Amino acid sequence: MPIRDAVPADLATIAGLIRALADYEDLSDEVVFDEDDLGRHLFGATPVAAVLLATDDHDDVVGMALWHATFSTFLGRPGIWLEDLFVRPEARGNGHGRALLEALMQRTPGRLEWAVLDWNQPSIEFYERLGARPVAGWTRYRWTAAPA
């Protein structure tokens, strides 16, 4: 499966994939990003996240993995937090999601971690087929700054 790093020209495609993911998760009302800000955070002077894109045989983008670096004090090594993994519904089952995750696994000597919605059984089954397991005993917390 062709996987490539996103470039600034992919910004509109990435924004569209984020919106499609939010639709799938029934969270469209939470998508409030400004596309220019998103572009600065992904492709500016000091990027804080990166995107891998999966393409089909026609070089059309069919999926993405939006991620950022982490660090494990216990391992003493860098890792990756996968913020979003999304493959367009019509392209699922063709290996794109697996290829995106394997590409991320190759980029870290530490951990690859992510969260999954507890109702998303197809994704949970997909992750477990790849050998991933939930982290027992941990509850994810979130603090969000007020909009500027």
Mean pLDDT over all residues of the chain?
A: 94
Phi-psi region of 131 (alpha: psi -120 to 50; beta: other; left: phi over 0): left
Residue 80 contacts residue 104 (beta carbons within 8 Å): yes
| pLDDT for residue 139 is more than 90 | no
> So what's the pLDDT on residue 148?
65
| pLDDT for residue 145 is more than 90 | no
Average pLDDT estimate for 89-116: 94
Write down how long the chain is.
Answer: 148
Q: What's the CATH class of domain 3-115?
A: alpha beta
DSSP string, 42-69: HHSSS-S-EEEEEE-TTS-EEEEEEEEE
**Closest residue by Cα to residue 122 from 55, 24, 28, 52:** 24
Active site residue 127: yes
| pLDDT for residue 123 is more than 70 | yes
Where do the domains of the chain lie? 3-115
Q: Which of 95, 127, 136, 146 is catalytic?
A: 127
Residue 91 contacts residue 56 (beta carbons within 8 Å): yes
> So what's the pLDDT on residue 43?
98
